[in-house]
Homo-oligomer: A and B are copies of this chain.
């Protein structure tokens, strides 16, 4: 698939116009989230690695140009796009780090045609991956440190691609496994899964199904106990676990009912049978809002499968992300559209230990006690450093960030919505430019 055409037509219009006109000045675009969903106090940066791969590969050859000719681009426009590659610089926030509203996730500096062309793809990748990784991080926080989380959402994700990226984002956020075999293969994750209700229905009775499965997969027998009647399902599981000596490896899974109640019933039955080491997994319409009360209530749950609501980010399916021109040909620019005023200039986020960040211009000295958040990732269109295992590093960063996040930002329902304060240099520049544009 010619990936350079994965863009909106207007990007190609503008790129063609710039290049035929000889407008090759450097432009800086800033990609940020204007406002977080009301339930979000933070975001976890995610998606930049795929973007870097794509930017390094971007090119316009015969196949792309043929398509553009069919769309009505004329000869000089096609000639102007022929051979286009991405030759610019990208500063970005490393995956796994916390980002707040108005803090750039990525800044792109390149000849304006190139910098413009990549808008659609960068927004697509960074918006969804940051959003789903953030949702997974909220689930991870809600579950506390004792409960294992498994990503289960492939069947309801908004496309197969989305399923892959949701598995990846969940791994960054601290999930221990995914049900998605292809994602496990691509990203080096742990694949997990056992049986569906249909497996039990395919046998003469439930115990026969459990016994067959235990025979076939003795090392990973998790028995789904709620196909017909959960109480009897647990009895059948106990009987098979004992008969086959699976006390060390077995678990049960419950996928329906009031999980706070039914997990206690199941735990009591298992314990009464002496199976205190057999673990309980739950699944079914779970996300942070269901996880938190289950954990607070002390439900005896060892692991959770988190699916649909996570991978579709059901409570906030998109972010208000934007990719805005902030500098062109050496001059700062801004727009004044109602409700969408932008801040000029290439920027840096100065991260404070307490997350009271400062947003400034890239060249500024960091305020005392802060460190710069954005790092140079591509220079002249090429990567600055290759990580052997970017996913593992991102997961480590995310775990560190979550451990240090202020309680007010971690709240599930109505967290503090913090924006960085502006450095005086940036504030002055913005005020002066907005004033000048309004006076035109």
Could you tell me which A residues sit within 8 Å of B by CB distance?
1-2, 5-14, 16-18, 20-21, 23, 27, 29, 67, 71-72, 77, 112, 116, 119-121, 123-125, 127-128, 132, 152, 154-165, 179-182, 184-185, 191-202, 205, 212-213, 216-217, 219-220, 226-229, 255-257, 308-309, 312-314, 317-319, 321, 323-325, 328, 333-340, 437-438, 440
**B196 & A14 in contact (Cβ 8 Å cutoff):** yes
Closest to A329 in B: B202
**B156 & A318 in contact (Cβ 8 Å cutoff):** yes
**B157 & A128 in contact (Cβ 8 Å cutoff):** yes
List residues of chain B with CB within 8 A of the CB of A182.
Answer: 1-2, 5-7
Q: Which 9 A-B pairs have the closest CB atoms?
A: A9-B193, A161-B161, A10-B193, A159-B161, A198-B325, A123-B155, A158-B158, A159-B162, A312-B317
**A112 & B202 in contact (Cβ 8 Å cutoff):** yes
List residues of chain B with CB within 8 A of the CB of A160.
Answer: 6, 121, 124-125, 161
Cα–Cα distance between A157 and B158 once the two chains are bound (Å): 9
**A335 & B227 in contact (Cβ 8 Å cutoff):** yes
**A216 & B20 in contact (Cβ 8 Å cutoff):** yes
Knowing that A72-B220, A155-B321, A156-B321 are A-B contacts, what are 4 other residue pairs whose CB atoms are under 8 Å apart, sorted by A's residue number? A6-B181, A112-B202, A124-B154, A201-B325
A325 to chain B, nearest CB (A): 4
List residues of chain B with CB within 8 A of the CB of A321.
Answer: 155-156
**A202 & B155 in contact (Cβ 8 Å cutoff):** no
A195 contacts which of B14, B124, B194, B338 (Cβ < 8 Å)? B14
A71 contacts which of B164, B191, B212, B308 (Cβ < 8 Å)? B191
Q: Identify which of A20, A198, A205, A325 gathers the most chain B CB atoms within 10 Å of its CB.
A: A198
A337 contacts which of B123, B185, B226, B338 (Cβ < 8 Å)? B226
**A116 & B198 in contact (Cβ 8 Å cutoff):** yes
List residues of chain B with CB within 8 A of the CB of A184.
Answer: 9, 71
Closest to A308 in B: B318
Stoichiometry, as copies per complex, reads: 2
List residues of chain B with CB within 8 A of the CB of A317.
Answer: 158, 312-314, 317
A212 contacts which of B21, B156, B196 (Cβ < 8 Å)? B21
List residues of chain B with CB within 8 A of the CB of A438.
Answer: 228
Closest to A112 in B: B202
List residues of chain B with CB within 8 A of the CB of A200.
Answer: 335
**B217 & A180 in contact (Cβ 8 Å cutoff):** no
A211 to chain B, nearest CB (A): 11
A57 to chain B, nearest CB (A): 14
Cα–Cα distance between A255 and B29 once the two chains are bound (Å): 19
**B202 & A325 in contact (Cβ 8 Å cutoff):** yes
A158 contacts which of B71, B128, B440 (Cβ < 8 Å)? B128
**B328 & A201 in contact (Cβ 8 Å cutoff):** yes
List residues of chain B with CB within 8 A of the CB of A328.
Answer: 201-202
Closest to A54 in B: B160
Closest to A206 in B: B440
Cα–Cα distance between A321 and B156 once the two chains are bound (Å): 8
List residues of chain B with CB within 8 A of the CB of A27.
Answer: 198, 202
Cα–Cα distance between A199 and B212 once the two chains are bound (Å): 65
List residues of chain B with CB within 8 A of the CB of A312.
Answer: 158, 317-318
If A202-B325, A314-B317 touch, whether A155 touches B120 (CB-CB below 8 Å) is yes
**A256 & B338 in contact (Cβ 8 Å cutoff):** yes
**A9 & B191 in contact (Cβ 8 Å cutoff):** yes
Closest to A185 in B: B67
Closest to A333 in B: B201
A162 contacts which of B120, B152, B162, B255 (Cβ < 8 Å)? B162
Cα–Cα distance between A336 and B17 once the two chains are bound (Å): 63
List residues of chain B with CB within 8 A of the CB of A72.
Answer: 219-220
**A216 & B17 in contact (Cβ 8 Å cutoff):** yes
